[in-house]
Each structure stands twice: as C-alpha cells, then as structure tokens.
Amino acid sequence: MKEALSVLCLVLLVSVLEAAVTKPKFGDFIGCLRYRTSPENPITDAISIADNTTAFLSSYVSYTKNKRFLSPNYKKLLAIVAAKHVSHVQATVVCAKSNGIQLRIRSGGHDYEGLSYMSSVPFVILDMYNLRSITVDVSTKKAWVQAGATLGELYTKVNDVSQTLAFPAGVCATVGAGGHISGGGYGNLMRKYGITVDHVIDAQIIDVNGKLLNRLTMGEDLFWAIRGGGGGSFGVILSWKINLVEVPKIVTVFKVNKTLEQGGTDVLYKWQLIASKFPESLFVRAMPQVANGTKRGERTIAVVFYAQFLGRTDELMAIMNQNWPELGLKREDCQEMSWLNSTLFWADYPAGTPTSILLDRPSSPGDFFKSKSDYVKKPIPKEGLEKLWKTMLKFNNNIVWMQFNPYGGVMDRIPATATAFPHRKGNLFKIQYFTTWFNANATESSLSQMKELYEVAEPYVSSNPREAFFNYRDIDVGSNPSGETNVDEAKIYGSKYFLGNLKRLMDVKAKYDPENFFKNEQSIPPVHVM
C-alpha cells in the first residue's frame, strides 16, 4: 500500500512539476519573442497559441499531410510560430532554447511520421510556409529558394524565365524545399543530374545561437552535413542557393500498364536488369500496385511503367525496341511536352490540367498512410516478386503500391562521401512501399500489413545495415523518445539512413549543437565518435 501511495505521489509530483515548468516558461517564451523582434517586423500576428479554437486547428492542420497525426497533442503543443521574417526564426530558436521548450520545424509538412509537428514533450512548431521567396538568375543558371517554398512554386518560377532550365527534385508539387532538399530529395532527373543536394552551392541557416549563417560563415563541415543529413538536427534552414540544370524544350513521357496476366512479372524482371543501364537521359520508374482484375471482384497486380526521356519520341522508340522489346511500347503511348508539363504527368494529373495547379497549397490533409523504403543491389528473383504480389493482395481495402526507382547514370559516379547523402554506387534501384487507408479504425491492421510486406522483401534487399531513405521517414527503423537521444539507438537508425557518413554527421552535430537542442525521434546525436 505504501509503495502504491509513493508511486502515486511521484506521478502527481511529476505532473505538477511539468505543469509548473511549462506554464510560466511558456509566458516567458512569448515575452522573449516580443522582446527579440522589432516593431518593424512584429511577431504577434505570427503566433498561434494552442487553444483548441478553430483558428488554431486550421493553422495546425493546413500543413499536416498525414491524417494519422491530425489531432494536435494539446498537452504538449504550446504554440505555432508561422515566421514571416528571418528575425522571427532567430527569436523562436533563442527563446525556445532559453526556456527549455522543444522546437519542431515544418516547411511543407510532408514528414511521413509527423516528426516536424509532433512531440511528447512541451514544444513549439516553427512553421516556415510564409518564407517562400524564389529568385532566379537565368544568366548564371542559379536560384535562391526559401525553405517554405514548394517544389511546384520553384518549378513554375524557373519555367517563367526559361523553358530549358529545371531542378532535379521530386514529383510532389506541395513538398517544401527546406526538408526535401536537406534530406536528399530526388526525382526523375536523378540518373542524368543526381539529386537535390548535388546542386546546392550555398545556404542560409539559423544556428542554435540564433545566428544567421551562410556557407562561408558556417564552414564546409556544416555545409556538408545539411546536404543530405537533414537540416533539423543542425539548425533551421532558411534558404538554399541552387544550380539549375539544362533540359530540352521538349521531353517525351510514357505510361504503360502490364498486369500479371499480361506477363507483368517477366517484364519487371527484365526492367531490373536494364533500367540502371539505360542512357542517363532516360528514367523509367516501375510501380507495382493492386488493381481490379478482369472478372468482377477479382484483384491482381498491375505494374505501371512511367518514363521520362530528355529527347524526342523517335530516339526513345529506338532505345526501347533495342533494349526492352518485352514492354511492347507503341509510338502512340508516347507524349511529347515541355518539362514543366511533364511534372503534371508524373503527378498523375489528367491531360490538359493547367500548370497553375502546381501553385496550389491544399489546406487539409490527404489520407492516412504509411511508407517504408529499401535499396536493392541485385535483381529480385521472379519467385521473390511473386511473394511480394501475394502479400500485397492480402491488404484489405487499402490502396497499396511499391515504386522501383532506377539508379545508375551519374548516381554511380558521385562518391558516397561527397555530401551527407550516402546511397550512390552499387544500387540497382530504390523501393518505396506505400499504403493508404480511409478510416482511423484501419490504422492498426494497415501498419501490421505494411510490416509484413517489408519482412517478405527482406531477403532481396540491402543488408547489414538494411538501408533506408531519410526522406521516406520510417519510425520502425529505430527511434528515440521525443526528449532524449540515446546514442546506441541513434546508431541503429542513423546507420540505415546515413551508412558510413553517420560518424562525420555526429562529429558535426557535437561541434555545432553540443547540447542537442535541435532534436527529434530520429535526430543525429552530438557525440564525437572515437
């Protein structure tokens, strides 16, 4: 009985202490924000107190992209600061740190596990969506893009001044530049030009002391770390200076379906042998997905092949007929269009959709979803593919798909240590697993089915460690509690995301954020590794 009372008293004491720490500290935090910003750039309008009102909920939800994390944790979330000026970012960092409040940084809200806006300790969200300016210099083929700008806005702005310049980033137009670029975002120009971080030539970051640094003042080690190591462990990315790349005025795309009944497994097996060896101007993604069969109520797997070629149809047809006649590509499957229009094709918009849709910012989340990733070094045998199909067909009413994204080309020639993004030579392709469901009651079963699919794939993918892509955030590969970073646990997820670059990332973290202010469940620990 005495023991039970002691435990109860301890629990009550912890709750009281937590409340005592949070409330006055939060008042101090707000006072600090006002003190550290000027009347010319007032911060008051940028602050939304977490008070369960419609206005606050709207602020929270508008950049919450996964319905699994739709409900704010009102016990821990204190406020959202939607910075409108660099001084707001600086003040938020300094004031959160001095008051012992955790900071989560959100650019576009696409963190797959919601780590940019969720925590189980008292925290504030720093929203970057107002900081979205983009300036393009055609003469030097360079651009500055702020963290809160979306990829759709960047592509549109570049296209406004040149139809033959592009940036090798992702196909989802609503993704924020801050997180996408810092995590090593990629797209269909990857085989020709590499990934986002290979074209970053300068950056602005707010460090743990609230200082605004650029490449010169931050130093090369920090500049290396934020290109692929994720910005959230080192500071707040404010903006990137990027090199733009050249694309032809007309590119060619196609989309071809092969169901299992049409020999989809054989066609995909051949894809594994050749997709990473195609000319680097050709990118062919394979997307196995559950689809309706020919008979009512029957389900099958359809492998959808999406391609982009930096050239015209005649040349593409010649390459395909010579290397991959099994696909049965016909001339009428091919469409010629501008590079900007190809971004609509990749996002599955219907033909004729105006490019202005790239500027849309949806104000409500999509569906419930879960994603995972893998890297493949040697072809998956046909019996392995058939096991994956069998597992995919077990998913209940979910949408479920995999994406096989080919490597090769320039990705084989960029050293693994050139940036913090390590997944380079030796990969045939990267897999993204993805499932979507529409009812919260299906969450548990959906997560369980996803784990099963991942387990079935294990014999056919990279191992020791089983590699993972940081931007396809997956809490299952290892995680820490919100408020602490255990080094041994961090080495588990860190080695999967960053491979041999983890040691240098930990050294950089120890140098620039030794007290580990910038942290989340999968952040880099500040440890000098011997």
Enzyme catalytic residues: 472
CA gap 289, 264 in Å, rounded: 11
CA gap 313, 323 in Å, rounded: 15
Surface-to-core class of residue 157, CB atoms within 10 Å of its CB (0-12 exposed, 13-18 middle, 19+ buried): middle
* Phi, psi of 195, rounded to the nearest 5 degrees: -120, 180
* Strand (E) or helix (H) holding 271: helix 264-274
CA gap 475, 119 in Å, rounded: 13
CA-based angle 384:322:410, to the nearest 5?
Answer: 70
Closest C-alpha among 104, 125, 114, 110 to residue 70: 114
The residue assigned the tokens 């794939």 is 457
* Phi, psi of 140, rounded to the nearest 5 degrees: -100, -5
Closest C-alpha among 14, 179, 13, 208 to residue 102: 208
Contacts of 139 (CB under 8 A, 6+ apart): none
Contact 371, 474 (CB under 8 A): yes
CA gap 184, 202 in Å, rounded: 15
CA gap 189, 339 in Å, rounded: 11
Surface-to-core class of residue 464, CB atoms within 10 Å of its CB (0-12 exposed, 13-18 middle, 19+ buried): exposed
Structure tokens at 174: 């609503």
C-alpha dihedral, 268 to 274 to 280 to 284, nearest 10°: -10
Identify any residues that bridge with 82 across adjacent strands, giving them in sequence order. 127
Contact 379, 480 (CB under 8 A): no
Task: Give the DSSP letter string of 167-203.
Answer: ----S-TT-BHHHHHHTT---TTHHHH--GGGGEEEE
Structure tokens at 451: 């784990």
Contact 137, 92 (CB under 8 A): no
CA gap 322, 177 in Å, rounded: 39
CA gap 143, 199 in Å, rounded: 11
The residue assigned the tokens 């090769």 is 408
Closest C-alpha among 93, 177, 184 to residue 132: 177
Query: Cis bond leading into 465, ω under 30°?
Result: yes
